[in-house]
Amino acid sequence: MVKRATFLLATAVSLVASRLCKNGLRYCASTLLEIGNYQQQIHRELDTWSPCTATTDNYLYYCDEGDIHLVGNCQWGCDDSGVDESDSCSPNFKEVVDCNLWYGNVANEWEKKGLRGI
């Protein structure tokens, strides 16, 4: 009985510790990993767009109802702007370049999702 109670308490604490991104804000990958379990979504977005890199760092994501969408590459680094503020690239961001020529045009996909210009 004590083991079951301990397990339930540990589960509840882990659920409280992780939180969702805030709708409409932009996040650096590192910030997403700090606030919740976004590793799988980050990898899914990178796999979907097939950017020309093996690293997950220095990418900017847009939060949409707890889901994230890849917005761009922060080639000079990504800045955490603090709680309830959108993160940003330093000094500027570059749209993701799709290395998989068979996949299609990233900009058009953003347009369809309503994410262009975020």
Which tens digit of pLDDT belongs to each residue from 27-73?
A: 999 999 999 999 999 989 988 876 666 567 788 999 999 999 998 88
Locate tokens 């997403």: which residue? 32
Rounded to the nearest integer, the mean pLDDT of the chain is: 73
d(CA 91, CA 1): 55
User: Which tokens sit at 92?
Assistant: 């500027």
**Whole-structure pTM value:** 0.65
d(CA 51, CA 17): 31
Q: Using the 8-state DSSP alphabet, how is residue 27 labeled?
A: E
CB 53 within 8 A of CB 80: no
Residue ranges of the alpha helices (H) in 1-118?
2-17, 29-35, 39-49, 106-113
CB contact set of 39 (below 8 Å; sequence gap of 6+): 33
CB contact set of 58 (below 8 Å; sequence gap of 6+): 28, 29, 73, 74, 75, 77, 78, 89
pLDDT in tens, 70-116: 988 887 889 999 999 999 988 766 655 555 444 444 445 545 555 54
User: Which tokens sit at 99?
Assistant: 């290395």
User: Which tokens sit at 116?
Assistant: 């262009």
What's the pLDDT score for residue 58?
A: 83
Work out the pLDDT band at 16, boundaries 50, 70, 90: very low
